[in-house]
Structure formats: C-alpha cells, structure tokens
Amino acid sequence: MDADTFAQFHEQLERYVRERLIPAEKDVIENDRVPDDILDEMKDMGLFGLSVPEDHGGAGLNMTQYAKIVKTMSYAAPAFRSIFSINIGMFNSALKNGGTKAQQDEWWPRIAAGEIACFGLTEPGSGSDSAAMATTAKPDPDGNGWILNGSKRYITNAPHADVALIMARTEKDALPKNAHVSAFIVPMDTPGVSTGSPDKKMGQAGSHIADVMLDDVHVPGDALLGGETGQGFRFAMMSLDNGRISVGAASTGYARRALDSALRYATERKAFGEPIANFQLIQQMLAESETEIYAAECMMADVTARADAGESTIKQAAAFKVFASEMCGRVVDRVVQIYGGAGYLAEYDAERFFRDARIYRIYEGTTQILQLQIAKHMLREYAAL
C-alpha cells in the first residue's frame, strides 16, 4: 500500500478504534466475544487481509505498516486484535515463505475475505521443545495424502477458525534442524478435526483459545505446505518472527492505552486538596512509563525497517518482543498503583489492563526462551568474527 493511502487508512482506523471499538469493550467483556456486527465491519475494512498481497485480495502492507496497524488496534481490548492476528501474522507469513503458488492462490483470497485461521504448534507435552512433538502425519496407504493424529493446545481462535496450519511429525526420530516436523494446511471442517471448549483465562475476554484434536484426519497431498516434508519447523519459526513483532506492537499499543488511562485518573483524582498528578512520585511513575513506551516504539520502528529492507530479524524481533511485553507488564503495574485501591477493583479499567497484559510475556515465545535465542545468536555472531 502506498504511503498516502496508508496514512488515510491509518487515520480512519484510529477513529474507528476510539469511536467504535472502545465503546464496545463492555459488550466484549460481558459476553466474552467480539460482536458479530463488529466482526463483519472488520472484515469489510480488510483487516483480515492486511498482509496478503494486493493481487490476491489483500492490502499488501509492508512490515512497518503492519506493525503500526497492530499497535493502533491494540489500543482497544485485546480481543479485537486477536481475532485477525493469526491471519495476517503467522498463517500468512508461513504461506508467503513456504506455500506453493497453488496454495497461495487458494488461501490468500480466502483469508483476505475473512476466513479465520489458527496456528497449531503447541501441544500438551510440547511447546518450545519441538523434539517432543507427538502429533504425527503418516502417508495415506490408500492415496497420496496424509493421515494426521494428535492434539494441539492453547490454540488462539480454534473455536471459530476456518483453517489451521498444523505442525506434525513426519519422521519418527528428531533429525538435525528439526527436519522431523512438517506443516499442513487443514480446513477445520475436515472429518476427524474437533475442538475442545474454550479455556477460561486470566484476561483478554473475547479472545478464545482451545485444544484442537486430530483423529485419523485425512488430508490430500497438496495440504503439505510447500509440497515438501521436513520444512514445517523452519516455516513455523519464520512465522513466529512475524508473530513476535505483532505481540511487541500489541504490548506497546496496550501500554499506551493504560498510561493514558492513568494520566486521566491522576489528573481527576484529588488527595490533600489537589490532583494526585501534582505529586512527584506519581509523576515519576508516569515519566518512567512514557520513557519505556517510547523505547519500545523506537525498537518497533527499527526492527520493522530492517524486515522491510530484507534483513534477517530473528534476534531483533525476539528482543523487541521481550522488551515490549515486559515493559507493558511494568506499565500496567504502575497504572494499578496510580489508581491506588481503585486499581484493584474490577469496576475500573486498571484491573483489566493488569490481567490482559500478563499473557504478552508468554505467547509467541516466553521471555526466557527468547532470551536464550537472543544469546545464541549473539554467541554465533561473535564466533563468526
């Protein structure tokens, strides 16, 4: 999307977030779902196909534009970003990096039109440890397809997804570079695919996760992403770089929302005859939060510019996600403190911000796993000097 068109779209989206989505948050929280009319509006706006190429029905945003949109959407309740984030993030990234032309031609227009995707990597006994993956894909003895068996856990959008990208073991033993894992595009209405009840979570009302069960699921040969076995983990990791930038942008946008709320409360709330915003230790918490949000915004600008320039951003995407998610946790904690006793009550937004933000440090790679990844790349780069 050219710069002028994007600027207009971004301005329109900022108004939509403040005038439409934020007033709808109470409905989302009370009913634990994004209202159907808003979901339809988001599809009509093209939010489900932001990163899909324009010649396949999408907006064709680059990484810098994509992150700005995610950050803007994340000023509102997290459920609004979550419902389309897998489409424009991990699913589309895997399709772009590893899909065949036929797979792209089939699925890009469908997800751009609003079909909802989910991403099946994590299992009950396997998260970051792909060697422990138990889901299997075996050649169908009656044809050129595959038979999938296993289960996936904590899968965002699973209860209402139309399609899943499923990682499965195609070799018995863990081969070098995770070549035992392959990726499959699996429509959720395929016989043998089922989902569990949505899990009850600490926060992020309206955003649903659930188990995905695969019981003798037959898929055709062209369901294999890229048409080649042993590439699934590589595609997944490349997709997770995109997902980590998305979570970093979401953390940054939500931290800004929380800080704006704290500014408003500190200006209106009075103690000892004056607004608490006049107290220096309140100002310190506000200033620390502003400083950290600004740092995250600068990291986002850098990592997305690198991605748009064609650089590998494995280390930078991980660093941005770690800093932004941890920063958001610190900001929402300060916001609760600024609210004081009111910050502990569900009646006020601060309590919700605190619960919603906690997951950002966990999904798309925990802080600790990403710290290991960052250090690994540092040591590898040093050894190559």
Task: Provide the whole-model pTM.
Answer: 0.92
H or E element that contains 138: strand 136-139
Quote the CA–CA distance of 288 and 271 in Å, as a whole number: 22
Q: Is 364 a catalytic residue?
A: yes
Domain ranges of the chain: 3-115, 118-230, 237-383
Output the tens digit of pLDDT for each of the chain's 385 residues: 889 999 999 999 999 999 999 999 999 999 999 999 999 999 999 999 999 999 999 999 999 999 999 999 999 999 999 999 888 888 998 899 889 999 999 999 999 999 999 999 899 987 767 668 899 999 998 888 999 999 999 999 999 999 999 999 998 876 666 778 899 999 999 999 999 999 999 999 999 999 999 999 999 999 999 998 888 778 777 777 888 999 999 999 999 999 999 999 999 999 999 999 999 999 999 999 999 999 999 999 999 999 999 999 999 999 999 999 999 999 999 999 999 999 999 999 999 999 999 999 998 889 999 999 999 999 999 999 8
In CATH, what number does 118-230 get? Answer: 2.40.110.10
**Exactly one of 268, 297, 364, 381 is catalytic; which is it?**
364
Quote the CA–CA distance of 348 and 338 in Å, as a whole number: 12
Quote the CA–CA distance of 93 and 258 in Å, as a whole number: 30
Buried b (16+ CB within 10 A) or exposed e, 11-48: eebeebbeeebeebbeebeeeebbeeebbeebbebbbb
The third-level CATH classification (topology) of the domain covering 3-115 is Butyryl-Coa Dehydrogenase, subunit A; domain 1 (1.10.540)
In CATH, what number does 237-383 get? Answer: 1.20.140.10
Backbone angles phi, psi at 169, to 5 degrees: -80, 120
